[in-house]
Amino acid sequence: MSLVGPRPHVPGMMAAGKPYDEFVEVYGLRHMVKPGITGLAQVRGWRGETNSVASARMRIVCDLTYIAHASIGFDVKLLLLTLMREAYSGSGI
């Protein structure tokens, strides 16, 4: 596990009652990198439960965007944004 990356999912992870890989064809691509404690989805507010297909898709879009733009600089930016978000408006979830 790393500090920044897609949040880890258990095999067969469900969202809105369906397995992720059933409604997001490219779901498996998020496993190309180590999972992280925080990531783009968390910074953009797509963390917590995924009660709808749309929220699950947005989380995967963020994960794949992170993978496409991964760099040390981007990781540092996401870490700083996470700290600021939690310090000023965090719920601790």
Taking CA atoms, 43 is separated from 22, 23, 79, in Å, by 25, 23, 9
60, 16 contact by CB (below 8 A): no
Range of the domain at 52: 2-89
pLDDT of 91 = 61
User: How many Cβ atoms from other residues are within 10 Å of residue 4's Cβ?
Assistant: 24
The residue whose two tokens read 């917590």 is 48
The number of folded domains in the chain is 1
Residues 14-59 have pLDDT tens digits of: 877 888 878 778 888 888 888 999 999 999 988 877 778 888 888 8
Name the token pair of 69.
Answer: 């733009």
